[in-house]
Structure 1
Amino acid sequence: MSLIAPSPPRADADRYGVLFVFAAGVLWSTVGLGIRLIEDAVVWQILLYRSVSMSLFLYIFIRVRSRESPFIQIRRVGFPVVIAGLSLVAAYSGGIYAIQSTSVANAMLLFATAPFIAALLGWIVLREPVRTATWVAIAVAIGGIAIMVADKSGGVALKGSLAALGSAFGFAVFTVALRWGRTGEMLPAVFLSGLFAIVITLAICFGLGLSVVLSPHDGGIAMGMGVFQVGAGLILYTLGSRSLPAAELALLSLAEVLLGPIWVWLFLGETASANTLIGGAVLLAAIAGNALSGKRRKPPPITAP
């Protein structure tokens, strides 16, 4: 009699993959609510505290999971993981500023352009082919974005929209850097991004005269986001994405975009403008259409909220 337990059927692996990735999207969708609950802290203070808790959490998880230091894994990949880590710092900063400056619905929908930007960068930098359906979806998405930002002239809301697109660009660079390094393992790069963010935000806080001591309320929320939103969400996504093709991943990622505005509407009464809703519907149609037209294949390294 064999002493080796049989591997779970493919259907079971897919089922758990769907649950893990969807759960990751639910956790990531609460980032807008978390930032809205911050009372006084600004983007650099929030990012500092979030990065500290995220880095500690991921260090422990990587050590337990792989039985080696994340620094060894980082050295193994080399320069691409450094680019990936730095790009995530830009993505984090733009994401927090965007949510503090514009509606959560607007920011979340613009974050969702990251896969399209990654496709363009992959085509330019790595000479990766882009499907015709993806080019069409990119064109439709650009139209949706134009509608969304059309009523945000010159104010903080426009800056928030640009920051959200900058955040999406950062996540896209992260994706391309991981492909460049030929690794699908995102957690060491995210751990490194946390260390970079700690150093950079400390320098900015001191340079701007910002206190690094937050109230228990703001500090607790920021550190909680590092563990439960970014850290736990990435772990669930990493586990789930290994058994799902790119089309399903793209569709499941819509959970984050759709649920984010719902949380702030339910708990804080925040609503979105008509332009955001119309442009967002066009953008979601482009994302869903691109996913449904894709072939079932093993996904490349995927970004994180």
Structure 2
Amino acid sequence: MIEAATTAATSDSAAILRGRVLVLLSGAGMSLGGLFIRSIQEANEWQILFWRSLGIIAALLVFIAFRSQGRVFQAFRAAGAKSVIAGLCLATGFTCFIFSITHTTVANTLFMLSAAPFVTAVLSRVLLGEDVTRGTWAAIMGAAIGIAVMVGEGFAAGDLFGNLMALAAAVGFAGFSIALRSGRGVDMMPATCLAGLFGAIGSAAIIAATGDSYVVPVVDIGLCVTYGVVAIGGSLIVFTLGSRLVSAAELTLLSLTEVVLGPIWVWLAFSETPSGLTLLGGAILLASIVGRAATGIRRRRPPIGVV
């Protein structure tokens, strides 16, 4: 019995480690978003969204087909109406993210987006009636202070629109989470694929309405499609595989890889340096997230051993 328990514990530890590595890799992949957008030469926001959305659709359709053994239509039908709502929310977040990156620093955008779990907590309280603990409220207040510091700086630095777009993106991502939680059986992959579809349709309509062109330099198309396939599609697939093996609190901490690495990539490639107030506000926000997640990990009940 003891040997069996030891073997099971070792297996569980290996699975948890594998999950942590996968979530870290997912965050690292997501962190490349700012680098991709900064590398694009001529494409505007709607053109970026259009071509990137095609990459997202391609990557996720392949994964859904593989996982459902070719029954793609059935997978989307099983996801139900909640996946449509989730997809619309995520498409809004995707769109606002691009506009934020093009109007402020990558650090500003990512720090703001890291507040999405707190936005989710507040909206879940309002829309789903879920309880919000005192610790979470304290963390939300800390995050609000950090956001206020960065938004306040935006008034002076001319980055206000970019900061507001980042907050709008956080609300969109929070709406995505709430839609999934309100329908517990909703699969994230069809919903995310629908977000890519809505993004492609919406951006195509706006490009056509403004008389712009879908044609951009081949290099820009390659960057946008790769961005969609790797940094979003691939990262979400890896995240899905890893998230099943670690706790929600650990997910919050490990996912901060995106926030930490994103500004580093654009600093190394383009010498983009965030301001002191951005770093201060971001530090306050991240401290709130880390503190809340660490509390959640400490409160996890220890596993019951086999005797």
Please give the range of the TM-score, normalised by the shorter of the 2 chains: over 0.9
From 232, 248, 255, the equivalent of 2:234 is 232
Task: Give the superposition deviation at 1:100.
Answer: 0.6
- 1:57-206 aligned within 5 A: 57-153=59-155, 156-183=158-185, 185-206=187-208
Paired residues of 2:79 and 2:187 also in contact (CA < 8 A): no
* Secondary structure in structure 2 of the residue aligned to 1:108: helix
- Residue-by-residue CA offset, 1:45-83 (whole Å, 9 max, x unaligned): 101101111101111111112214343222223221111
* Secondary structure in structure 2 of the residue aligned to 1:150: helix
- 1:218-229 aligned within 5 A: 218-229=220-231
Task: Give the superposition deviation at 1:152.
Answer: 1.5
Question: Residue type matched to 2:261 in 1?
Answer: L
Paired residues of 1:20 and 1:237 also in contact (CA < 8 A): yes
Paired residues of 2:83 and 2:187 also in contact (CA < 8 A): no
Task: Give the superposition deviation at 1:16.
Answer: 0.4
Q: In percent, how many aligned pairs have the same letter?
A: 44
* Secondary structure in structure 2 of the residue aligned to 1:272: coil
Inter-partner Cα distance in structure 1 for 2:268 and 2:193: 33
Paired residues of 2:79 and 2:191 also in contact (CA < 8 A): no
- Which residue pairs with 1:257 in the alignment? 259
Q: Over alpha carbons, which structure has the higher Rg?
A: 2
Question: Residue type matched to 1:210 in 2?
Answer: D
- Which residue pairs with 2:290 in the alignment? 288
Q: Which runs of 5+ in 2 are unaligned?
A: 1-6, 302-307
Inter-partner Cα distance in structure 2 for 1:154 and 1:75: 49
Question: Residue type matched to 1:218 in 2?
Answer: D
- Which residue pairs with 1:301 in the alignment? none
* Secondary structure in structure 2 of the residue aligned to 1:183: coil
Please report the TM-score for the alignment, with normalisation by the length of structure 2: 0.92
Task: Give the superposition deviation at 1:257.
Answer: 0.3
Task: Give the superposition deviation at 1:208.
Answer: 1.2
From 239, 247, 268, the equivalent of 1:245 is 247
Inter-partner Cα distance in structure 2 for 1:74 and 1:181: 14
Question: Residue type matched to 1:33 in 2?
Answer: L
Please report the TM-score for the alignment, with normalisation by the length of structure 1: 0.92
Question: Residue type matched to 2:290 in 1?
Answer: A
- Which residue pairs with 2:3 in the alignment? none
- Which residue pairs with 1:9 in the alignment? 11
Tell which deviates more after alignment, 213-222 or 73-82. 73-82
Task: Give the superposition deviation at 1:91.
Answer: 0.3
Question: Residue type matched to 2:232 in 1?
Answer: V
- Which residue pairs with 2:277 in the alignment? 275
Task: Give the superposition deviation at 1:256.
Answer: 0.5
Task: Give the superposition deviation at 1:154.
Answer: 6.9
Paired residues of 1:246 and 1:296 also in contact (CA < 8 A): no
Cα distance, 1:278–1:155 mapped onto 2, change above 3 Å: closer
* Secondary structure in structure 2 of the residue aligned to 1:35: helix
Question: Residue type matched to 2:198 in 1?
Answer: F
Paired residues of 1:39 and 1:218 also in contact (CA < 8 A): yes
CA-atom RMSD in angstroms: 1.5
Paired residues of 1:21 and 1:241 also in contact (CA < 8 A): yes
